[in-house]
Structure 1
Amino acid sequence: MSKEITVSQCIIQFLESKGIQCIAGVPGGTILPLYECLAASKIKHILARHEQGAGFIAQGIARSTENIGVVFVSSGPGVANLITAIADAERDSIPILIFSGQVPLSLKGTHAFQELDTESIVSTIVKKVYSIEDPNQIPLVLNEAYSLAFEGKKGPVWIDLPKDIQTKPISIPELSIGNRVFNNSQSLENLWNPNQNHFHTQTVENFCIEFADYLANAEFPLLYVGGGAKKEYKQLREFVKRYEIPAVTTLMGLGIFEKNDPMNLGMMGMHGTVAANEALGVCDLLIAMGVRFDDRAIGNKDTFCPKAKIIHIDIAANEIGKIKQPNLSIQKDIAEVLPYLLEERFVDKTVKKDLKNEGSFAQIERWKQIPEIHPAKDLILSLASSISKQDHYILTDVGQHQMWVAQYYPFSNPSQWITSGGQGTMGFGLPTSIGVSLANPKTPVYCFTGDGSIMMNLQELASLREQNLNVKIILMNNMHLGLVKQQQDLFYGNVYSGSQFHFHPNFSVLCEAFGIPYTLWEYEQNTEILETFFQSEGPSFVEIQIPSNWGVYPFVPGGKSNQEYILDLVKV
C-alpha cells in the first residue's frame, strides 16, 4: 500500500528519521510551505537573525556531533546571505544539508522577485546541488544528499526547492519513511569523486609493508597531521609513542596530541612553533595523515620539506598529489590504516631502539628552548586557568586572538577545539558557538573573539539570549583589525590604511540591550573574578582591552619557507 504526502511533509519526516533535533534558518515567501510542515514537527527551529548566522549555527551542530547540520533559507537574498557559511563548511569538510526556497517553476529564468540562479551560484562550494523539478525525485534525492554529505571527504549538499514543488503530492510506500526508503543508502557511483584512480587498487596490507620500509630507512621521520585525523587521536597518540616519531599538527589538528607530550612539536605553518617549522626543514621522511598541504601550513610549496620523501594517507583521492607529489600514498580513511600500522610486526621492523641517542631529538630539544616571550601567552594561560575544568568547548573567531589561542591553549583533545580553518571567516565564532551549545546543552562553550570579528555577526547575540545558552564570549579588544595592522607594521611602512576602527562601540551598553551579563576584565587582575563570572548559568560576555601593538609571532610571511620565520616584533 502507498500513502500520499506532500514534498514538504516528506522532507520533514525524512529529517525526523535521521534524528535531526534542531534546524537553523530564516523563512521567506518561497520556503513557507516547508516551514508550515516544520511547525507540526518536534524538530526545534532556531530563528537566526541573518542567514549567515543560520549557516554557522548549523555548522556548530555538525562540528560538535556525529550528525549533519540542517539549514532552511528562502530564495534570492536568503541564498546569497548563506553562501559565506557554506563556503566555510565546504573548506573544512563539515556535513551540512541546505534546503533553499526558489520561485515557482513557471517563473524560473524570468528574473522574478527574489530569484537567483541558485544552482550555478553555489555549485562550486558544495559537493552537489539538486534543483528539484519533479516532485517524485525527492525521496531518492534526500537519500543521496544525506549519504553524499558523509561520503568520503564530508561536506555540504544543497537542495533547491521551487515553491510550487514543495506542495506537490507524492506517493510513497507505507512504513518507508525512516525505514526502507530512508535508511537504505542509494548507490553513489559516479556522484562523488569521479576522478577515481590507482589509490583505490592498493591494499592496506601492501601499503603498510612499503610504509615500514620507508620508515626503517629514515633518520629523521616526522608525522604531519590535520583535521582529517582528529577522530583517530587516541590511535595517533599511540602511534607516536610506539614508533618514537615526533609530530607536527595543522591549526585544525590541534589537540590530537597533548601539549606537554614530548613527541608533540606543536602547530606548524605561518604562526607555528620554531620546533615544528625547523623540523620540517630537516626531516627526511614526512608522514602526512588527514591533511591537504594547505599554503598556510606548508608555506612555499617548492621549498617545503626539501630533504623529505613523502607518505600521504587521505580519504580524498583529489588531495593526494594536488600540492606535493608523494613517494607513497593510499586513499583511505586513516581509521582503516592505523590498526595495521600499530601491529607489532610493523613496529618491530621500523623502531630504532637508539633513536633518542641520535642528533635529531637533541636538536628538537634545542629548538624547543627558543623562548616564547609574549604577553598574550600569559593572558591565554590565565584565561585557561579560569575556564571550567570539566569538559568544555573552545571556539574562536578569526584574527590575532585565534592564533594566540591556537598557540597557547592547552587542549586536552581535538574535539574540544573548533575554529574556521580553510576560509578563515570572521563572524564565525558567535553563531557557531550557538550551534555547539544547542547540540551540547550541558557542556560550557567559550568563544574567543576580536572587536573586528564580533561585529560581523553581532545580531546573533539576540539568538543567544533567546535560547539562553551556556556560551561565554571572551572579547579581546585592540580597536583594530589586528592581523591586518601587523602586516602593515611589517611590510607597508606602518601605513595603517583601513585597519583601525575610529569609532568604538560600548560593549557594556550593547550587552545590556541584548540582556547578556557583561564584565570588563583587566588582564593583570585576579582570575577569581573570571572564575565566578564563568560559573554563572546562561550567556555572559567578558571584554579584555589589549594593546594594539601586540602581534602574533613566530610569523612566516606569505610565499616564504617555514624556516624563514620572523621570531618577534613585540612591543610590550
Structure 2
Amino acid sequence: MREQITVSQYIIRFLESKGIQWIPGVPGGTILPLYESLAESNIEHVLARHEQGAGFIAQGRARSTGEVSAVFVSSGPGVANLITAIADAQRDSIPILVFSGQVPLALTGTDAFQELPTATIVSPLVKKVYKIEKPNQIIETLEEAYHLSGSGKMGPVWIDLPKDIQTEMIEIPNDLFSIDRPTEEQLMETKDIGNDDTDESLDLFLREFKSLLERSKFPLLYLGGGAKHEYLRLRDFVSHFQIPAVTTLMGLGIFEKEDPMNLGLMGMHGTVVANEALGVCDLLIAIGVRFDDRATGAIQKFCNYATIIHIDIDAKEIGKNKSVHLSLQKDISAILPFLIEEDFSIQNTKALEQIEVWRQIPEQHPMKNILLDFVSAMPEGEHYILTDVGQHQMWVAQYFPFLTPKSWITSGGQGTMGFGLPTSIGVALSHKEANVYCFSGDGSIMMNLQELSTLKEQNLNVKVILINNEHLGLVKQQQDLFYGSKHSGSKFHFHPDFSLLCQSFGIGYSEWDWSLGIEGLQKVLDRKGPAIIEVRIPSSWGVYPFVPGGKSNQEYVLDKVTM
C-alpha cells in the first residue's frame, strides 16, 4: 500500500521517526508550508525571537544529548540571521539539520522578495548543503543528510526548500516510518563496532606507539572535544599508566578537577603546570584536537622538543597546523581499548616530580573563591554549566570542578558572544529536571537578550549568572596590557537596570553580594524556574595566566589581583 503526502509532511514524519520532539525556529512566508505540517504533528515548536537564538537553542539539544537537532527558518534575512549559530556549530562539530525556506523555483535568480543565494552563502559553513528542486529528491536527501550530520566529524547540514516544492505530492509506502527504534544497549553495541579492527596499519601504529611511549621520559596527553565521549576510558588509561594530561577548552571535564594526572586547561589562559609541561614534554599524544592557536600559542614554538602523535577522526586535521611524527585517522573509540590492554613500561618518575614543583606556582584569583562558593550553594542533582564568551567564560573554565565533559557547554572555535542564553534554553528543554546554569557577562547577555521571552514562555529551570563589570572585559584587559590602557570601545557608558529588565520579562532577579556569603544565593538556586543572578565585580580584574598573541605557551603573564 502507498499513500500520497506533501514534501513538507514527509519531512515532519521523518523528523518524528528520528525521535525529535521539539524544533526551534522563526516562521516566514517561504517556510509556511512546512509549518502547516508541523502544526499537524506531535512535535512541539519553540518560537525563538531571533533566528540566531533558534540556532543556538537547537545547539543546546545537540550539545547536551549528542543527537542531531533541527531548526526551521525562512528565506533571506532568516537565513542570514541564522548563519552565526551555524558557523559556531560547524567549528565545534555540532550536528544540526537546518531547513530553510526559499522562493519558488520559478523566481530563483530574479531578486525576488527575501531571496538569497542560500547554497552559495552557507556552503563553506556546513558539511553539505542541498537545494531540493524535485519532490522525490527529499526522500534520499533526508536520510543522507541526517546520517552525514551525526556521523564521522559531526556538524551542520543545510536543506534549502523552495516554497512550491514543499507543497508537491510524493508517493510513499504506508509503513515507511514504522521502524523499531534501537535500544540504548544496541546503540552502545553499534558504537563499539570497529574496536576489533586489527588490520595491518593499526598493528603498525600500535607497535610504533608502544615504542615511542616506552622511550619517552616525559609523555603528555593533549585532549580536546573529539575525545570527550571516551572520558571514562581515558580516565582509566591515565590512572593506570600515570600519564599526565592537558585539555583544551572543549576537553574540560574529561578528567575530574582533582585528578593528580589532570594538569588542566592549556593555552592562552591555561594553567601554569599545563603550559610548562607542554614546553618540555618529549612525547605529545594529541587526541581529538585541531592544534588551534588559542591552545598552542605560537605554533612554530609549540612542543618543538616533542615527538608528536596525532589521533583524529578527520584526516584534514592531521598535519594541518603542526607536522606530526605518527598519526592515525580513527575515532578514539577504535583505538583506546587496545591501548588500555597494552602493558606499557613508562619511565616518567622525574617528570611527575617536576609537575608537582610547577603546581606550587600560585594562580590565586578572587573569582576562584566566588565560583567555589557558587558550587557549594548548588542544589544536588543533574546540572549543566554553560557560558557566554568573555572573561567569565575563562574564569569558569579555569576554576569550575566539572564532573563530566557533558556538563560543560561553551562556544569554542568561534567564541560567539550571545551563545549562552539561547543554548541554555535548548539544554533545559532536553533535560527538564536538570539545573541549568548560564554564566554570562554584561556584554554577552545583550547579544541575544530577546530570548528571555522564550525562556519565560517555556518556564525553564535556567539560572543566568550575570558577571557585571560594566565593560567588555577581555577587550579592556588587552587594551590595558598592550595598548597603553586606551579604552576605546570597551566601556559601557549606559548600564541597564537588570532588575527592571527581569521584571518586564517576568523573570526572577537577585543580586548576589559575594562578599557576604552564600545564604541568599542558595535560596535563589533552590527555587525552580528562570532567574538572573547579578554579580558585580571590579573592572580591574583580569584573566591570568595570559599568553599574549605570538608568544609561546611558556611566555605567559602572571598578575597578582587584589580584592
TM-score of the pair, normalised by structure 1: 0.94
Alignment match, 1:266: 264
Instruction: Give the secondary-structure state (helix, strand or coil) at the position aligned to 1:153.
Output: coil
Alignment of 1:424-503 (within 5 A): 424-503=415-494
For residues 560 and 551 of structure 2, the distance between their equivalents in structure 1, rounded to whole angstroms, comes to: 18
Choose from 213, 219, 228 the match for 2:211: 213
Alignment match, 2:345: 350
Q: Which moved more, 1:376-385 or 1:137-146?
A: 376-385
For residues 272 and 381 of structure 2, the distance between their equivalents in structure 1, rounded to whole angstroms, comes to: 31
Deviations 1:186-223 (A, max 9, x none): xxxxxxxxxxxxxx986333321211011010010000
Alignment of 1:249-328 (within 5 A): 249-328=247-326
* Structure 1 residues not aligned, in runs of 5+: 184-199
For residues 404 and 314 of structure 1, the distance between their equivalents in structure 2, rounded to whole angstroms, comes to: 28
1:457 Cα deviation from its structure 2 partner: 0.3
Alignment match, 1:9: 9
Deviations 1:279-322 (A, max 9, x none): 00000000001111111000111110010000111111111111
Does structure 1 retain, via aligned residues, the 8 Å contact 2:216–2:346?
Answer: no
Alignment match, 1:42: 42
1:553 paired to 2:548: no
Alignment of 1:48-59 (within 5 A): 48-59=48-59
For residues 168 and 203 of structure 2, the distance between their equivalents in structure 1, rounded to whole angstroms, comes to: 52
Alignment match, 1:197: none
Q: What's the % identity of the aligned pairs?
A: 67
Does structure 2 retain, via aligned residues, the 8 Å contact 1:14–1:178?
Answer: no
Instruction: Give the secondary-structure state (helix, strand or coil) at the position aligned to 1:449.
Output: strand
Indicate how the Cα distance of structure 1 residues 15 and 264 shifts in structure 2: closer, same or farther if over 3 A, else same: same
For residues 438 and 179 of structure 1, the distance between their equivalents in structure 2, rounded to whole angstroms, comes to: 25
Indicate how the Cα distance of structure 1 residues 178 and 498 shifts in structure 2: closer, same or farther if over 3 A, else same: farther
Choose from 245, 249, 256 the match for 2:243: 245
For residues 202 and 452 of structure 1, the distance between their equivalents in structure 2, rounded to whole angstroms, comes to: 54
For residues 4 and 345 of structure 2, the distance between their equivalents in structure 1, rounded to whole angstroms, comes to: 63
Alignment match, 1:186: none
For residues 532 and 229 of structure 1, the distance between their equivalents in structure 2, rounded to whole angstroms, comes to: 37
Does structure 1 retain, via aligned residues, the 8 Å contact 2:241–2:344?
Answer: no
Does structure 1 retain, via aligned residues, the 8 Å contact 2:282–2:305?
Answer: yes
For residues 380 and 238 of structure 2, the distance between their equivalents in structure 1, rounded to whole angstroms, comes to: 27
Tell me which amino acid in the other structure corresponds to 2:283. Answer: L
Choose from 395, 403, 407 the match for 2:398: 407
Tell me which amino acid in the other structure corresponds to 1:319. Answer: E
Deviations 1:341-393 (A, max 9, x none): 011xx2x23334xx33x2x1121111100011211111111111112232200
Instruction: Give the secondary-structure state (helix, strand or coil) at the position aligned to 2:327.
Output: strand
Tell me which amino acid in the other structure corresponds to 1:161. Answer: L
Instruction: Give the secondary-structure state (helix, strand or coil) at the position aligned to 1:269.
Output: coil
Does structure 2 retain, via aligned residues, the 8 Å contact 1:202–1:330?
Answer: no
1:244 Cα deviation from its structure 2 partner: 1.1
Deviations 1:530-570 (A, max 9, x none): 11110111111100110000000000011110000001153
TM-score of the pair, normalised by structure 2: 0.96
Tell me which amino acid in the other structure corresponds to 1:322. Answer: K
Choose from 217, 220, 223 the match for 1:222: 220
Alignment match, 1:505: 496
Alignment match, 1:234: 232
1:178 Cα deviation from its structure 2 partner: 4.8
Instruction: Give the secondary-structure state (helix, strand or coil) at the position aligned to 1:124.
Output: helix
Choose from 394, 397, 420 the match for 2:385: 394
Tell me which amino acid in the other structure corresponds to 2:103. Answer: V
1:521 Cα deviation from its structure 2 partner: 1.0
Instruction: Give the secondary-structure state (helix, strand or coil) at the position aligned to 2:45.
Output: strand
Deviations 1:466-489 (A, max 9, x none): 000000110000000000000000
* Structure 2 residues not aligned, in runs of 5+: 183-197
Deviations 1:39-61 (A, max 9, x none): 01101100000000000000000
Deviations 1:474-507 (A, max 9, x none): 0000000000000000000000000000000000
For residues 504 and 349 of structure 1, the distance between their equivalents in structure 2, rounded to whole angstroms, comes to: 59
Alignment match, 2:143: 143
Deviations 1:130-175 (A, max 9, x none): 0111111000000000000012100000000000000000112231
1:571 Cα deviation from its structure 2 partner: 5.0
For residues 337 and 440 of structure 1, the distance between their equivalents in structure 2, rounded to whole angstroms, comes to: 32
For residues 66 and 412 of structure 1, the distance between their equivalents in structure 2, rounded to whole angstroms, comes to: 17
For residues 502 and 94 of structure 1, the distance between their equivalents in structure 2, rounded to whole angstroms, comes to: 37
Deviating above 2 A after TM superposition, structure 1's stretches of 4 or more consecutive aligned residues are 177-180, 200-206, 348-352, 569-572
For residues 2 and 28 of structure 1, the distance between their equivalents in structure 2, rounded to whole angstroms, comes to: 32
The number of residues matched between the two structures is 549
Indicate how the Cα distance of structure 1 residues 202 and 93 shifts in structure 2: closer, same or farther if over 3 A, else same: farther
Q: Which moved more, 1:1-10 or 1:418-427?
A: 1-10
Instruction: Give the secondary-structure state (helix, strand or coil) at the position aligned to 1:49.
Output: coil
Tell me which amino acid in the other structure corresponds to 1:298. Answer: T
Q: Which moved more, 1:522-531 or 1:448-457?
A: 522-531
Does structure 1 retain, via aligned residues, the 8 Å contact 2:26–2:48?
Answer: yes
For residues 315 and 381 of structure 1, the distance between their equivalents in structure 2, rounded to whole angstroms, comes to: 36
Alignment match, 1:195: none
1:327 Cα deviation from its structure 2 partner: 0.8
For residues 202 and 145 of structure 1, the distance between their equivalents in structure 2, rounded to whole angstroms, comes to: 32
Tell me which amino acid in the other structure corresponds to 1:45. Answer: H
CA-atom RMSD in angstroms = 1.5
For residues 325 and 517 of structure 2, the distance between their equivalents in structure 1, rounded to whole angstroms, comes to: 54
Does structure 1 retain, via aligned residues, the 8 Å contact 2:382–2:433?
Answer: no
Instruction: Give the secondary-structure state (helix, strand or coil) at the position aligned to 2:516.
Output: coil
For residues 386 and 202 of structure 1, the distance between their equivalents in structure 2, rounded to whole angstroms, comes to: 54
For residues 204 and 96 of structure 1, the distance between their equivalents in structure 2, rounded to whole angstroms, comes to: 32
For residues 203 and 129 of structure 2, the distance between their equivalents in structure 1, rounded to whole angstroms, comes to: 37
1:517 paired to 2:508: yes
Instruction: Give the secondary-structure state (helix, strand or coil) at the position aligned to 1:123.
Output: helix
For residues 525 and 161 of structure 1, the distance between their equivalents in structure 2, rounded to whole angstroms, comes to: 56
For residues 24 and 203 of structure 1, the distance between their equivalents in structure 2, rounded to whole angstroms, comes to: 44
1:179 Cα deviation from its structure 2 partner: 3.8
